């Protein structure tokens, strides 16, 4: 692939977050290319295997063999086997062997604490269940939700066989039966949000493989989305959100798929999904108890549904074949049917039909309407005009969660935990978080007035801030320092660094280069790269990060259905020293993150050891074109990506259809977290990342920071990743330094600034 070509790859499966960066939504999209087809360079004849400098052959001692075998087991996640290897030897007083024993001892201590924590959680939840059972059975929605929460938390700490037994218990069955009955009542009243929140969201968590629960939950989500699209809110009207949508945009997008989509297009499935969406739209109009911007009487809704059924019958006959032309005819027929029945604005019908039909292909292919384009581009670049704060409305009150350094907000007088009561005089009581974001952001150089109540006071103040261009840094350390800087040395005693990459943007590689150069000047001997919760970014940025650690050869290949594959390759110039490397991943590491993790793990290079949980499993590349016209854009899947050894990253969407779970990138060392461990981890890392204003002594007045020891205790994946990295260092001949006062190889004493 031509370097600098900005192919956007990311996970568009939305995770609802409490904290939202102003004007920043979860990345989902591709940056624009000149046309509908991405053109790349032809494949080089070959990519040579990476050659390390030749070393003089030396006989390997028995101790060296022992260390190598134990380390191989540790970096494969086989800690028990590593223990057996060392216990089976009578070699003593060899520094490397003794330090490996210490690492295994620390690992055992971590696992013992985790087991005790999970047992504590389980016991607490069983006690909670027993209290609930004293009421005979759940009586109301609060009882049901408490029961579900206790069952889920208890099962989270159990082996699979015991989980099944818990779900088969009389109390669990009673809870599920009561919830299902309650959900039927909600749905009869058109309260789909309540049905999902109080029943099917719990059932999907309890039984993720239950097809019936999954399909009904997805239908509820669709009804909720339709309902929201038909409602006005304090920020904009339904008509404003759909302004500028035209039939020709959809026609052009569908025609662009024929040659450019990554696989053969199933127009029959697209039509079926779109018509189902139209059915659900009729049901929402008939049953919703919300105040909708549009109404239709029962007779018109019946006419709409009968018309849809007629179209469906034409498509499902024994000899029916749905071609592209037939599919577009169905689209036109639906628009005509709408005009003589329910009479919704045509723009809304186009939007609903479009979203549903493209979802039949994959979760990442969709039209970006004119009003969405600006936000879409913000999400890709992490650049936007605003003031530079993170906000939350988790408790129903709009609060400042963190400041961004070197922004207007940082020097404005705002601080963490300030309550935002109004934006330009408009109260925030009924304002959604998305609406608040759109009102606080705005053109560079314009003013916004926030009425705030500072933390710990009862007085209000109007803070006037001039908006500016905000660039959100994508590289973080393990703890924030005063003024917005970060600690990147996580173990200064042993010169071990830590960098967390939150997204892959234009600034990621240059910022990473600066940080690595600084760490290397200070004697860096090992590095942890944290890609957890990184949902994606530019392909070129991901390749540039891999290029820092691999001297030559293929990084990633993008394979379209037609045409020439495109490539990203490593370059000898600028490769960093080959110090031991560990990469942290989890189920939310997607897209560009999977390319980085997969390429560094690949058997061709074996450059890094992956620690954590299996990644999301996107496995595909999207591109975007302005071909639909009139300010709209079309994002579609144009290729699958292959790692250096030419294996394709398995796509979650396809794997789930096949009933498989081996999508994405698997870790070398698996460390699965239960929900309470994840909650604790989020709390600690969140506190360490918050930036608040500081008093004259340079000490934060509002933010609690967690020490390294507390951070490692709250984050088993990081703690075990650190142990794995130290084992790799020992294997390379390093002697770890031990903190005398603690007896551990991780120093508790940190420099004032790093």
Residues identified as active-site: 591, 602, 618
For 749, the token pair is 């004493």
Phi, psi of 392 (to 5 degrees): -145, 150
Nearest to 62 by CA among 84, 99, 90, 81: 90
Q: Which residues pair with 551 in a beta bridge?
A: none
Q: Count CB neighbours of 59 within 10 A.
A: 5
DSSP 739: B
- What's the rounded Cα separation, in Å, for the pair 665 and 655? 13
For 468, the token pair is 């500016």
DSSP 93: S
Helices (H) then strands (E): counts for the chain: 24, 25
CB distance 460 to 453 below 8 Å:
yes
- What's the rounded Cα separation, in Å, for the pair 23 and 39? 32
DSSP 386: E
- What's the rounded Cα separation, in Å, for the pair 218 and 240? 27
- What's the rounded Cα separation, in Å, for the pair 604 and 647? 11
- What's the rounded Cα separation, in Å, for the pair 150 and 132? 10
Q: Where are the alpha helices (DSSP H) in 424-492?
A: 433-440
- What's the rounded Cα separation, in Å, for the pair 47 and 571? 11
User: Which residue has 């109301």 as its token pair?
Assistant: 140
For 639, the token pair is 């290729």
Q: In sequence order, what are the residues at sequence separation of 6 or more whose Cβ sits closer than 8 angstroms to the Cβ of residue 140? A: none
Interior CA angle at 659 toward 657 and 661, to 5°?
105
How far, in Å, are 13, 234, 392, 525 from residue 25 at the CA level? 12, 19, 13, 36
SS3 606: coil
- What's the rounded Cα separation, in Å, for the pair 398 and 114? 35
Burial class (CB in 10 A: 0-12, 13-18, 19+), 395: exposed
């Amino acid at each position: 692939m031509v370097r600098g070509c900005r192919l956007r790859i990311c996970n568009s499966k939305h995770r609802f977050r409490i904290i939202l960066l102003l004007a920043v939504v979860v990345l989902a999209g591709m940056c624009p290319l000149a046309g509908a087809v991405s053109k790349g360079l032809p494949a080089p004849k070959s990519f040579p295997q990476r050659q390390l400098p030749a070393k003089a052959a030396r006989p390997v001692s028995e101790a060296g063999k022992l260390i190598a075998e134990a380390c191989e087991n540790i970096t494969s996640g086989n800690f028990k086997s590593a223990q057996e290897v060392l216990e089976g030897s009578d070699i003593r007083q060899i520094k490397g062997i003794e330090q490996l024993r210490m690492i295994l001892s620390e690992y055992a201590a971590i696992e013992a604490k985790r087991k005790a924590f999970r047992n504590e959680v389980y016991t607490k939840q069983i006690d909670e269940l027993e209290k609930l059972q004293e009421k005979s059975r759940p009586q109301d929605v609060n009882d049901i939700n408490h029961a579900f929460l206790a069952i889920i938390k208890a099962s989270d700490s159990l082996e699979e066989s015991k989980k099944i037994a818990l779900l088969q218990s009389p109390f669990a069955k009673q809870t599920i039966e009561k919830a299902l009955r309650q959900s039927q009542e909600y749905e009869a009243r058109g309260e789909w949000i309540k049905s999902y929140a109080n029943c099917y969201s719990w059932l999907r968590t309890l039984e993720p493989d239950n097809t019936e629960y999954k399909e009904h939950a997805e239908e509820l989500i669709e009804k909720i989305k339709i309902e929201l699209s038909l409602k006005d809110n304090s920020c904009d009207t339904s008509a404003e959100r759909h302004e500028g949508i035209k039939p020709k945009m959809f026609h052009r997008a569908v025609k662009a798929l024929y040659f450019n989509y990554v696989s053969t297009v199933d127009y029959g499935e697209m039509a079926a999904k779109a018509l189902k969406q139209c059915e659900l739209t009729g049901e929402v109009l008939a049953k919703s108890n919300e105040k909708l911007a549009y109404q239709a009487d029962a007779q018109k809704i019946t006419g709409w549904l009968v018309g849809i059924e007629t179209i469906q019958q034409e498509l499902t006959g024994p000899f029916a074949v749905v071609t592209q032309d037939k599919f577009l005819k169905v689209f036109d027929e639906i628009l005509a049917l709408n005009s003589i029945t329910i009479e919704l604005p045509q723009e809304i019908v186009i939007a609903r039909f479009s979203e549903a039909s493209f979802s039949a292909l994959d979760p990442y292919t969709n039209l970006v309407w004119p009003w969405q384009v600006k936000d879409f581009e913000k999400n890709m670049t992490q650049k936007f005009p605003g003031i530079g704060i993170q906000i939350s409305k988790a408790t129903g009150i709009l609060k400042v969660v963190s400041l961004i350094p070197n922004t207007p907000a940082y020097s404005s007088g705002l601080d963490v935990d300030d309550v935002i009561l109004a934006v330009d005089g408009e109260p925030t009581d009924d304002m959604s978080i998305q609406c608040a974001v759109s009102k606080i952001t705005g053109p560079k150089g314009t003013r916004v007035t926030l009425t705030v109540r500072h933390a710990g006071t009862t007085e209000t103040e109007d803070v006037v801030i001039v908006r500016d261009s905000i660039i959100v840094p994508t590289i973080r350390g393990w703890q924030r320092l005063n003024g917005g800087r970060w600690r990147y040395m996580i173990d200064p005693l042993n010169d071990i660094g830590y960098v967390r990459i939150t997204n892959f943007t234009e600034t990621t590689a240059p910022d990473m280069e600066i940080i690595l150069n600084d760490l290397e000047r200070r004697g860096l001997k090992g590095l942890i790269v944290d890609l957890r919760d990184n949902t994606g970014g530019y392909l070129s940025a991901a390749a540039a990060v891999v290029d820092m650690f691999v001297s030559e050869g293929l990084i990633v290949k993008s394979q379209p259905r037609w045409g020439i594959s495109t490539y990203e390759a490593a370059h000898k110039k600028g490769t960093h020293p080959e110090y031991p490397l560990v990469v942290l991943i989890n189920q939310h590491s997607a897209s560009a993150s999977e390319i980085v993790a997969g390429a560094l793990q690949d058997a061709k290079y074996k450059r890094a050891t992956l620690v954590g949980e299996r990644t999301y499993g996107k496995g595909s590349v999207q591109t975007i074109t302005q071909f639909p016209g009139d300010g709209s854009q079309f994002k579609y899947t144009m290729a699958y990506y292959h790692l250096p050894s030419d294996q394709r990253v398995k796509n979650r969407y396809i794997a789930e259809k096949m009933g498989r779970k081996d999508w994405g990138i698997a870790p070398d060392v698996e460390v699965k977290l239960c929900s309470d461990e994840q909650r604790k981890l989020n709390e600690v890392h969140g506190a360490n990342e918050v930036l608040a204003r500081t008093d004259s002594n340079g000490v934060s007045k509002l933010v609690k920071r967690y020490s390294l020891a507390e951070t490692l205790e709250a984050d088993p994946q990081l703690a075990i990743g650190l142990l794995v990295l130290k084992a790799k260092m020992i294997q390379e001949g390093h002697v770890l330094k031990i903190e005398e006062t603690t007896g551990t190889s991780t120093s508790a004493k940190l420099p004032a600034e790093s």
